[in-house]
Amino acid sequence: MSLRKFEYFLAIAEEGSLSQAAAKLHIAQPSLSQQLRALERHVGGPLFERLSRGMRLTPTGRAFLPHARAAVRSADRAYGVARAVATGDAGEIEIATVSSIAAGILPQVLRTWHERRAGSAVRLHEFHHRNLLEQQVHDGLGDLAIGPRPSSWDGPVLSLGHEEFVVVLPATAAARHPGGVALGDLADRDWVLFGQEHGLNDLVHAACTLEGFQPAPAVRTWQVDAAARLAAAGVGPALLPDNALPAGLDAEVRPARPRLFRELTCYLRGEPQGLVREFVALLRQSPLGLRDHRPEGGRAIGLAPTDT
């Protein structure tokens, strides 16, 4: 049953002698003899022939040898790899997040991460709603979560700064909105909204409700960048986090008025270990490369448990 017996067996096979193997293993010779006997009893036949000046493998022993070696090697590797991961030298981490962040901010961080630690892959889980994210991570999915501040959390929560929500309109509409865009001015437009159970949908609705209207849908989508492109194409205004806008979008992008912010955080179930600790440290150094707009001048949204 014990790996030690395997190692003992290998040592005997290698040395061709019980006593020499015992010396190499730093144990007494009778102990080795005992262990070998036990192993042979378990196998059901002798593994070595006892010659007058040493031990020689029987056919049984020869058959046993390569697999025993493989077992010991695998075990060593298991310990080695696990230790490497535990100390943060290698491994793979799972990040759970909401889709707006996966599409928007994360790529920059992951590029930095990949440059620093080429060996360690990242697995990404995306959710469409902050509540779902929070619940799934709480239930054990992923090693860390990146998303809006969780509503109730007993593990560590690290603030990554705030992202601002912007209104996206066709490029031609630029002149009409030199500063920000008052949401109320768009009350009777048909909007580019998100799917009913998408976190950003709840959020847009909450913002509009505060301005005293319910946005009517021109179209609904589940893709953040699709929403941006639809708005740019003139389907209707969209309200999006600035960091989630696709690069090179041909559109007029203006802060909402009143200004709207959402705090982003990284949260975990427990104290981070190994690679996760490293990743969190990276986040702490450069908070997602986030353009952090202070929420002083504006309204912070996204704190109620029902939005993204």
**Which residues would be at the binding site for a copy of itself (CB under 8 A)?**
1-4, 6, 42-47, 49, 51, 54, 56, 58-64, 67-68, 70-72, 74-75, 77-79, 81-87, 90-94, 139-140, 143, 269-270, 273-276
- Residue 51 CB, shortest distance to a copy of itself, in Å, is 5
The residue among 54 and 195 lying less far from a copy of itself, judged by its C-beta, is: 54
Tell me if 34 contacts DNA by CB under 7 A: yes
β-pairing verdict for 238-241 and 144-148: unpaired
What residues from 115 to 174 belong to the interface with DNA (CB under 7 A)? Answer: 138, 154
Residue type, 179: G
Tell me if 26 contacts DNA by CB under 7 A: yes
Tell me if 36 contacts DNA by CB under 7 A: yes
Identify what 37 binds: a copy of itself, DNA, none; CB under 5 to 8 Å per kind.
DNA
2 exposure class (CB count in 10 Å sphere: 0-12, 13-18, 19+): exposed
C-beta of residue 130 within 8 angstroms of C-beta of residue 307: yes
β-pairing verdict for 251-257 and 216-221: unpaired
- Tokens 């046993």 locate to 64
C-beta of residue 228 within 8 angstroms of C-beta of residue 103: no
Point out which residues pair with 260 in neighbouring strands.
Answer: 299
Tell me if 4 contacts DNA by CB under 7 A: yes
Tell me if 2 contacts DNA by CB under 7 A: yes
Tell me if 42 contacts DNA by CB under 7 A: no
Point out which residues pair with 37 in neighbouring strands.
Answer: none
Q: How far is CA 261 from CA 85, 203, 237, in A?
A: 37, 11, 18
Which residues of the shown chain bind DNA in the complex (CB under 7 A)?
Answer: 1-2, 4-5, 17-20, 26-31, 33-38, 50, 52-55, 138, 154
